[in-house]
A and B are shown apart, each in its own frame.
Chain A
Amino acid sequence: MKKRAFNLTPGSQVIGKWNGHKYMIIKELGFGACGTVFLCRTLQGDTYALKMGEDSSRMMLEVNMLKKFGKVQGVKLGPSFVDVDDWVDQKGGAHPFYVMEYIDGISLSSFIKGKTNEWIGICAIQLLTDLEKLHECGYVFGDLKTDNLLVSSSRIRWIDVGGVTASGRAIKEYTEFYDRGYWGMGMRRSEPTYDLFAVTMIMMEMAYPAKFEKGSSPLKTLESKLASSSQLKPYRQFIQSCWKGRYKSAQAMKAGLTDILLKRQEGSSRLQKRRDGRRGEEMELAALSIFAAAVFGSAVVSFWL
């Protein structure tokens, strides 16, 4: 990892060279290959996420994507965009940064911990719902992975849209575990099905948080991992259908998954009904005894009279 060229500590102030806006650094939220993200506060007291990096071109591409996908058809896809500028440090070095909505949430892995396997499907449906919107706009997420997601009030949000690529182009960045090219399952070209494969791998990751490597025969590895997970059992056929290329769009895949989840719910709602039935009997019994008591009471009262 390259040493960071800037030194920002809690309390440091970042002033934009072009727009002149001031941000106070509160703390570091995380860092990656292309920059460091800080929590910051404006003079007005609003908190935002501020990303500072070295590669100004890359940062600008991310900003372009944020501007485009902060809000699509009224739905927030990525964090909303706030500001883009350069910060000049004491030594005169310029560092590009941008400011966006701060999404306060937890990682998908900690969210899923201890939850029933129904949630694997629910999370995937949420992902597919957002992907459907993105794909409709002619873009593909590209580097779809759990590191780029956060769960904020039970809803999955994208926090890094740096890999979003126009449909038909080459995928510009990917992470091997989620990349269908790595698994020998297709081209590294941005098309909706590229993201759909990544969704199945995110589901796999929920069952195997430590992930796994492809080994000498990638497809066999995938199949055996899928077969030996009890958590993924309800989704086994669904995931295989995706790998076989049966789902061409996020919409179709979502429909397939919804079927599974509804079927499961039907199963559990039957249980619910039975329980409801029993509760009804209890109620009848209680009503009956109250009635009996009342009759008995009135009988006693009339006896005294």
Chain B
Amino acid sequence: MKPGRLKQILLLTDGCSNHGEDPIAVAALARNQGVTVNVIGVLDDRQNGRPQGLEEVESIAEAGGGVSQIVYQKSLSQTVQMVTRQAMNQTIQGFVNKELTEILGKDQTIEELPPEQRGEVVEVVEELGESCDLDVLVLVDTSASMHHKLPTVKEALFDLSLSLNARSGSNQFSVYAFPDPKKTIKKMVDWTPELGEIHGIFSKLNSGGYTPTGPALKEALYTFAGKPLFERLRDGEDPYEETGF
């Protein structure tokens, strides 16, 4: 089995969307296109209890076939890499399960195998997680309440590339911020294998009082394909390659 390329959107936010289309629907669309959506809700270190609106975090990730986590700033670094890895494994497992069903028949998943065989299959999943290529588009909510958390976000992103670049598979990262008055999302870092040199990326930001998570996700999904979806469709080609292996 040759590992292919996994595609993920990682959304970092601290609140509920309040503008434009439903982010949960967009996440479901992304999943259909072979792009996994992970969401991390970032709490203030001083914040007590769960703020309102963060249930959306879980719903978006669920619809996007990804992983969600709500964390305090100080554990952001560790969470970002963990969520990304978990989602990778989840995607690979989903794929392996599909193969198993095809070979062994209906409802035959990894969990249902006898322990001996399960032990062998998980080694294969591990191996694929180590060697597959990965694209992560990081989408950062830069609305006013997120501003003082951005240095931590930057650190966490550097840490993410540190973790993932230790794998034998190759990685590509890009970073987008939202909201942006002109294009909904703003490119901060173009596709790059290293997130080390991202000093000052969040320095020039203008944010309104709204959080258009849905439109931002959709725009991120378009960007993933390299160019807007409709252009591709007009060209008569499949906008997204199969995320298969």
Contacts and interface: CB of A to CB of B under 8 A. Distances in A.
Interface of A: 18, 56-57, 60-61, 63-64, 84-86, 94, 96, 168-173, 176, 181-182, 187-190, 213
Contact of A56 (B111, B130, B165): B111
Given A60-B115, A84-B115, A172-B85, A181 B122 contact: no
B162 interface: yes
B190 interface: no
14 contacts: A57-B93, A60-B119, A60-B121, A61-B122, A64-B122, A84-B119, A96-B115, A169-B168, A170-B130, A170-B164, A176-B77, A181-B163, A187-B165, A189-B166
Nearest to A56: B111
Given A57-B110, A170-B167, A187-B166, A181 B159 contact: yes
B118 A60 contact: yes
B29 interface: no
Nearest to A171: B166
Nearest to B96: A57
B114 interface: yes
Nearest to B89: A57
A168 B85 CA distance: 17
A261 to B, nearest CB: 34
Interface residues of B, number: 27
A56 B166 contact: no
A172 B167 CA distance: 9
A60 B162 contact: no
B123 interface: yes
Residue from A84, A170, A171, A190 with most neighbouring chain B CB atoms (10 Å) = A170
Contacts of B163: 170-171, 181, 188
Given A63-B119, A181-B162, A94 B85 contact: no
Interface in B92-130: 93, 110-111, 114-115, 118-119, 121-123, 125-126, 130
B219 to A, nearest CB: 31
B119 A64 contact: yes
A45 to B, nearest CB: 25
Interface of B: 74, 77-78, 82, 85, 89, 93, 110-111, 114-115, 118-119, 121-123, 125-126, 130, 159, 162-168
Contact of A170 (B77, B123, B125, B166): B166
Given A56-B110, A181-B162, A169 B115 contact: no
B55 to A, nearest CB: 16
Contacts of A57: 89, 93, 110, 118, 122, 125
B167 A169 contact: yes
Contacts of B111: 56, 94, 96
B60 to A, nearest CB: 19
A171 B82 CA distance: 11
Contact of B162 (A61, A172, A188): A188
Give me the 3 closest cross-chain CB pairs, A-B, nearest first. A170-B166, A189-B166, A170-B167
A57 B159 CA distance: 26
Contacts of B159: 181-182
A56 B167 contact: no
A84 B126 CA distance: 19
A83 to B, nearest CB: 9
A64 B126 CA distance: 12
B102 to A, nearest CB: 19
Contacts of B123: 61, 64
Contacts of A170: 130, 163-164, 166-168
